[in-house]
Amino acid sequence: MTVLTGDYVVVGGGTAGCVLAARLSSDPGARVVLLEAGEASGPRAMSSPDPLAAFSLWSTSVDWAYSTTAQPGTEDAVHAWPRGKVLGGSSAINGMVHHRGHPDSYDAWEKQGATDWNYDALLPFFRRSETAEGRDPHVRGTDGPMRIEASPAPNPLAEAAFRAAVESGHTPLEDGNGRVSEGVSWRETNVAQGRRQSAADAYLRPVLARPNLTVITGAQARRLLLEGGRCRGVEYTVAGEVRTVLADRETVLAAGAIGSPHLLLLSGVGPADHLRETGVEVLADLPGVGGNLHDHVTSYVVYGSDRQPPSSDQRPPTGPSAEAHVLTRSRADVAPDLLLLFAGAALRPRWTGADPGGYSVLFSLMDPSSRGTLRLRSADPAVPALIDPAYLSDDRDLDRLVLGLRLARELGGTKALAPWRTAESFPGADVQDDDSCRAYVRSTASTYFHPVGTCRIGTDELAVVDPQLRVRSVAGLRIADASVMPSTVSAPTNATVLAIAERAAHLMTGG
């Protein structure tokens, strides 16, 4: 059996893993091994600056192509959960949005027991991750790997959408990632010099020549090697060959909200009763592993139009046209919990495609109350986990999404958009009362592709990692990815994962 040794072993070459590999290997005396189940690169569409190109990457070699169990809250629909299986992970196949959300999202973590995990504590790591020229340097980065460039000028339809948001009463913001985040702003994207910029592009590829960094692709982790209460390394396969990598200092899981808990469970770390039922030897009874699974839930209002903005091939080659998004509240007495996003296309329900000849207003619940689970189907590492996000199992989520639907309609039906609007295609004029709106939401709601929470930070018995991101009851093992979030944030999660990974590297190296 092939045996490799490093000081640090990082499992997962996605957003967090690329950050960790780059930062840890900046010390020439630290040997770093990064395992990634996917390949180093993928289809040409991965470099496209068009967010809609993400659709063409689903169910390809760069997608894990997960799916949920049937969801009673969404009329028993089974939801596709695309996740990146390539260097860069989901940052290589997502919609490229770079958005932090509201500070309250992070302050909520500390209130749930994640000591010293709040917005102020994370702000230095948000700044460290990015370069955002022309922004306030007190809150935005000036020399980080992820370059946030100004989007090309908005097309006339996008300009009308921004005016529509202001007409609807939303405060216009110069920078939605700045000191004030509630209101309408132009969406920032991970596009640099006209190409998608994944975490691999920004962090990993510039440092691949370091002699102390070993990156192994096509490496499927099978189990953690646990001995005497300590993680010694990882067993993995490459082209069917079983191999081992040992960590002299620490192993770090960065496999995401699905991969990290799945590997813990396969290794005997998790709820004892569930592990026994699945035939896995219990090595550490951690009941919180795989619990607390939640995801942003979204739907959209779609309008027909007999006018079209310039098509993508007529736009400047530097990136996609700017689009407006709105962060707002369902009620005055709660933190911002709804995100409205404008799209210059007629989206089909549940991400089944997009058509020209219209526009859409997405409405997404940013802090769902519903909580689900990730569990083993089998002790065989090759068998996908059971993913049950329990969408809309808490009625409060449905009520707030109905409010989001009404706000999206208000925006989509404004005077500013009247020249572009023929009629409301979905849900349609006959859907007005609360019952019919609830029915529409249940029949169309789906993932916003941001699962989190399955290995959450905390100090109680259901916490999986402590505030230093160390796995409870297992020495030499940390987790640094979206799975550690106690609750999700009021934005797409990629920017937050960058900051979590930056802070994890800081914690591991003492700064």
Q: What is the pLDDT of residues 175-194, one digit of tens each?
A: 999 999 999 999 999 999 88
Boundary-marking domain end, from 385, 416, 444: 444
Return the structure tokens found at 341: 């996003």
Please give the tally of structural domains in the chain: 2
Compute the distance between CA of residue 374 and CA of residue 68 in angstroms, rounded to an integer: 10
Q: Are residues 122 and 157 in the same domain?
A: no
Confirm or deny that 155 is annotated as ligand binding.
no
pLDDT value at residue 453: 98
94 is in an annotated binding site: yes
Determine the pLDDT at residue 309. 64
Same domain, 94 and 243: yes
**For position 266, what pLDDT does the model report?**
98
**218-232 average pLDDT score:** 97
Tokens 């000191």 appear where? 179
Within-domain flag for 499: yes
Q: What is the pLDDT of residue 47?
A: 85
485 is in an annotated binding site: no
> Which residues have CB under 8 Å from 183's CB, separation 6+?
170, 171, 172, 173, 176, 326, 327, 328
What pLDDT is stored for residue 2 in this prediction?
A: 79
Residue 382 lies in a domain: no
Asked whether residue 452 is marked as a ligand-binding residue, the answer is no
Q: Average pLDDT, stretch 471-488? A: 98
Query: Where residue 297 falls among pLDDT bands split at 50, 70, 90?
Result: very high
Q: Is 97 annotated as a binding residue?
A: yes
The mean predicted confidence, pLDDT, of the chain is 95
Classify residue 426: in a domain, yes or no: yes
CB burial of 420-444 (b: ≥16 within 10 Å; e: otherwise) equals bbeebbbbeeebeeeeebbebbbeb
388 found inside a domain: no
In this structure, the answer to whether residues 486 and 459 fall within a common structural domain is yes
Statement: residue 510 has pLDDT above 60 = yes
Q: 324: domain CATH number?
A: 3.30.410.40
Q: What is the pLDDT of residue 310?
A: 55
213 & 180 share domain: no
According to DSSP, residue 415 is labeled: G
On whether residue 373 sits in a domain, the answer given is: no
The CATH number covering residue 218 comes to: 3.50.50.60
The number of helix segments (H) and strand segments (E) in the chain equals: 10, 26
- With a pLDDT cut of 70, the percent of the chain lying above it is 97
Specify the 3-state DSSP secondary structure of 510.
coil
Q: Is pLDDT above 50 for 318?
A: no
Catalytic residue among 99, 170, 262, 450: 450
Catalytic residue status for 79:
no
Q: Is residue 386 part of a domain?
A: no
Choose between 347 and 319: higher pLDDT: 347
- Please give the Cα distance from 35 to 80 (Å, whole number): 25
- More confident: 47 or 415: 415
Pair 345, 232 in one domain? no
- 435 and 321 housed in the same domain: yes
Mean pLDDT of 50-58: 85
The pLDDT confidence band at residue 312, using thresholds 50, 70 and 90, is very low
Confidence of residue 311 (pLDDT cuts 50, 70, 90): low
- Predicted confidence (pLDDT) at residue 153 exceeds the cutoff of 90: no
Residue 282 and residue 265 share a domain: yes
Nearest to 326 by CA among 420, 404, 419: 404
54 and 201 assigned to the same domain: yes
Domain boundary residue, one of 427, 444, 461: 444
Q: What is the pLDDT of residues 12-36, one digit of tens each?
A: 999 999 999 999 999 999 999 999 9
* 464 part of a folded domain: yes
pLDDT over 60 at 314, yes or no: no
Average pLDDT over residues 476-500: 98
Check residue 51 and give its pLDDT: 79
Clarify whether residues 435 and 341 are in a common domain.
yes
Please indicate, yes or no, whether residues 332 and 403 belong to a single structural domain of this protein. yes
Q: Which two tokens stand for residue 394?
A: 């808490």
Q: Which domain holds residue 418?
A: 152-186+297-365+393-444
- pLDDT at residue number 234: 98
Residue 173: CB atoms within 10 Å: 18
Q: Does the annotation list 95 as a binding residue? A: yes
- Same-domain check for residues 253 and 125: yes
- Confidence at residue 307, expressed as pLDDT on a 0 to 100 scale: 84
Displacement of CA 408 from its chain's centroid (Å): 23
246 by DSSP, 3-state: which?
A: strand
DSSP notation for 185-219: EEPPB-EETTEE--HIIIIIGGGTT-TTEEEEESE
Q: Give yes or no: residues 230 and 288 share one domain.
A: yes
pLDDT number for residue 233: 98
What letter does residue 152 receive in the DSSP assignment? P
User: Span 266-287, mean pLDDT?
Assistant: 98
Whole-number pLDDT of residue 211: 98
pLDDT, residue 466, reads: 98
Confidence band (pLDDT; 50, 70, 90) for 316? very low
Residue 287 lies in a domain: yes
Sequence-separated contacts (24+) of 78-82 with Cβ below 8 Å? 79/350, 79/389, 79/391, 79/446, 79/447, 80/351, 80/447, 81/258, 81/387, 81/447, 81/449, 81/451, 82/54, 82/57, 82/58, 82/449
Q: What percent of the chain has pLDDT over 90?
A: 89
Distance CA 397, CA 408 (A): 16
| 268 burial type by CB count under 10 A (0-12 exposed, 13-18 middle, 19+ buried) | buried
